[in-house]
Structure 1
């Protein structure tokens, strides 16, 4: 079976970096070009979500691989499937809330014709793609939790589908 975890995590990190760039531009524009010098809350929410993504993707990426380094030890030493599922679900919800908030804010603007509005539109699209990537990994993590709830298999059999190695059925 093909390992979907690694490419999806790399895609998530790329989307987070792009989102940081786009929303940093929007935030900077609002703080320098408006009379109130304040930013609407949605671009900073996307900045926070993207930063949190960059902080957690290394843990989420390396955990399944670390769980297979010690075949004779329990995989809980490095890999906690519930922590991975909880982090995936939390970040998935944050991405969903953040791109929805920015899309609603952009739609509520009376006049939105400039470069900043196009950047906001691009940020919404990247947010949707990042949310879909996290939705996929959350689904994979949930399936992994459901498949491994018995606990009678070896570490390689328990986590083989998560990291892409075929499992042997006895």
Structure 2
């Protein structure tokens, strides 16, 4: 595993906790359309999903539970989480008011939540790239390993075959003429 992945997972967890705090602040202080907005609740879900499910699994499963950290499960969770964050920050950015109309603290919380969610999405895209590269490299290594194994087996079989067969020149030599 790459040495920079674990600090990046900690950063992803911190940003998820920041989103949980910001969305909880907005839900608790606004009593208009934002207090019941599904966009806010969706971003709250994203923060909870990332902090409770995605980051602990992605960080700990390869170390403690290698049998359930399948080579396709980790990239799958990475892709799902990055898609959730993409949908979350884009929907939030599309609904918040313009910066000139944003004069109350909860609106600034919405703006901060949008920025943090966008950074969280970028972090997951970054780790997605390496997870997908790991799949490609593992397939290539598996294919090369199988090719080397089949070559070694065919070479061993030809050596065994050449040792067990008598030489033709001794059996049908010139003495029989």
TM superposition score category, shorter chain reference = 0.7 to 0.9
1:121-136 to 2 correspondences below 5 Å: 121-136=111-126
The normalised TM-score by structure 2 is 0.72
**Paired residue for 1:45?**
42
Runs of 4+ with >6 A deviation: none
**Paired residue for 1:98?**
88
Shift, 1:120, TM fit: 0.6
> Which stretches in structure 1 are left out of the alignment for 5+ residues?
68-74, 155-170
Kindly provide the CA deviation profile for residues 78-104 of structure 1, in whole angstroms up to 9, marking residues without a partner as x: 421200000000000100110111111
The normalised TM-score by structure 1 is 0.75
**Paired residue for 1:20?**
20
More helix by share: 2
**Paired residue for 1:157?**
none
Structure showing greater relative contact order (alpha-carbon pairs closer than 8 Å, 6 or more residues apart) = 1
1:1-170 to 2 correspondences below 5 Å: 3-30=3-30, 33-34=31-32, 38-54=35-51, 55-66=53-64, 77-107=67-97, 111-149=101-139, 150-151=141-142
Q: Which has the larger radius of gyration?
A: 2
Is the Cα–Cα contact under 8 Å of residues 23 and 113 in structure 2 kept in the other structure?
yes
Cα distance in 2 for partners of 1:63, 1:153 equals 27
Shift, 1:66, TM fit: 3.6
- The alignment of Structure 1 onto Structure 2 pairs a total of residues equal to 143
Kindly provide the CA deviation profile for residues 37-96 of structure 1, in whole angstroms up to 9, marking residues without a partner as x: 9522211111001111012211100123247xxxxxxx5x24212000000000001001
> Which stretches in structure 2 are left out of the alignment for 5+ residues?
146-177
Kindly provide the CA deviation profile for residues 12-50 of structure 1, in whole angstroms up to 9, marking residues without a partner as x: 1000000000001111223xx33x795222111110011
Is the Cα–Cα contact under 8 Å of residues 28 and 35 in structure 2 kept in the other structure?
no
Is the Cα–Cα contact under 8 Å of residues 26 and 34 in structure 2 kept in the other structure?
no
Shift, 1:108, TM fit: 6.9
Flag the 1:49–1:37 CA change in 2: closer, same or farther, 3 A: closer
Cα distance in 2 for partners of 1:46, 1:82 equals 26
User: RMSD value over aligned CA atoms?
Assistant: 2.5
Flag the 1:11–1:38 CA change in 2: closer, same or farther, 3 A: closer
